[in-house]
A = this chain, B = another copy of it.
Amino acid sequence: MAGNTFGQIFRVTTWGESHGKALGVVIDGCPPGLDLSESDIQQDLDRRRPKSASTSTPRREPDRVEILSGTFEGKTTGTPISLIIYNEDAQSRAYEGIKDVFRPGHGDLTYQKKYGIRDYRGGGRASGRETAARVAAGAVASKILEREEIRVTAYTLELAGVRVAHVDLEAIDKNPFFAPDLEAAVLMEETIQEIKRSGDSAGGIVEVRVRGCPAGLGEPVFDKLDAELAKAVMSIGAVKAVEIGVGLGAARLRGSECNDEITPEGFATNRAGGILAGISNGDEIVVRAAVKPISSIEKEQRTVDIDMKPTTISVKGRHDVSAVPRIVPVCEAMVRLVLADHLLRQRTVAIPS
C-alpha cells in the first residue's frame, strides 16, 4: 500500500520521477473561493532553486509550474487542483554509471529490494527533485494560512558546523543559505567552499517557526500536532532527527526547568515549542530538523554492484555540497501542509452552535 498522499482534509498526492516527463501534485480538499495563480506558486518554487555556486549544482532548472485544474477565473473552485512541472532538460542526460552500482547513502539498494525494479535515472522517485511538488502544494496551503494570519518561516540554524549567533528573520532571504544571521552566512560560505574542495559534503539544522497559530490544532491521541509535524519533516529525504521546542534538551532538564509557567499574559517561556499534549497552545511553534550530508560525494567509497560484487564509487559532476538550503523551503512547505490540514480538521471538531 503506497504512501504518496499526505493529509486528511487538505490532501496532497505527489507523482513523478526525477528524469521522467514531468512531476506534479494533485491537491484535493482545498476550500473554494481562494485567489490562486501560477505566479503565487512559482514564487515559492523559485525560492527552492539553488542560489549559490558553492552549495549547489549549476544545473538550470526552470521548474515552470502550470495549473491544470481546480481554479476558475483566478479562484479555487473546491475541485482538485492539479499542478504540473515539466522536466525540461531531463532527457539529455546519461545516468548509465549508477545503473548497476548502489550508491552509499542513497535509496538505490532499498528501492531495488522493495520494488524489484527502479527508474535509476537521477534517482527516480527518490530524488530530491520530488520535493518541488511539495513546495508547489505548500504554496497553495499558504493561501489558507494567510487568511488566518499564520506565518511559517524556516531558516538554516546550522550548516557544516557553523551555527547562527542570532535569528534575524529579515536576513534570511539576503543570503544563499537562508541563514538568519549574515555574518554566519559568510562563514558558512567559506566552510562549504573548503568542503567542496575536499570532495566531501556537509549537513546542518533547519529550524521552522510558526507565528499566529491559534490554540486548538492537533488531534490526539495519534494525530497530535507534534506527531504530524514529526512525520511531515522526517519524510523529507535527508532528515535524520526532528525536535519540537526544547527538543532533545528536554531529556536533561528538571520538571521545574521544562514546564512553561502560565500567566494571564500567556506562557512565561516556550520550552514546549507551542504544543501541549499534542495540541497547539497559541504560542510560537518551533520545529527543528537535522539534515544529513549529501550522499553523493567525490571521495571514493566502497560499495557493491547489482550482483553484490564489491566495487568503489566516486560520484563526480554537478552535485550540491549540502542539501540544507534547498530543504529550508521544503520544511516550510511541509509545515504549511500540516497546518492547513489541521485548521480544516479543527472545523469539524468545533462545538456546533
Closest residue of chain B to A107, judged by CB? B277
A11-57, CB < 8 A from B: 11, 13-17, 20-24, 26, 28-29, 31-34
A33 vs B294: C-alpha distance in the bound complex, in angstroms?
Answer: 30
Chief secondary structure at chain A's binding surface = mixed
- A242 near B230 with CB under 8 A, answer yes
When chains A and B are docked, how far (Å) is the Cα of A75 from the Cα of B218? 21
Tell me if A246 and B114 are in contact (CB < 8 A). no
Q: Given A31-B349, A105-B276, A310-B263, answer yes or no on A17-B79 (Cβ-Cβ < 8 Å).
A: yes
Q: Are A231 and B227 in contact (CB under 8 A)?
A: yes
> Are the C-beta atoms of B255 and A299 separated by less than 8 Å?
yes
> Are A69 and B309 CB-contacts (below 8 A) given A31-B350, A290-B251, A301-B261?
no
Number of copies: 4
Query: Of all chain B residues, which has the CB nearest A350?
Result: B31
Contact B255 A2 (CB under 8 A): no
Given that A1-B8, A227-B231, A255-B200 are known contacts, is A69 also in contact with B17, CB under 8 Å in the complex?
Answer: yes
List, sorted by A's number, 26 A–B pairs whose CB atoms are closer than 8 Å: A1-B219, A2-B349, A13-B26, A22-B68, A26-B26, A31-B348, A31-B351, A33-B351, A78-B114, A78-B117, A105-B258, A107-B278, A109-B276, A114-B216, A201-B254, A201-B256, A227-B230, A230-B230, A243-B290, A248-B290, A250-B291, A250-B292, A250-B293, A253-B292, A264-B308, A264-B310
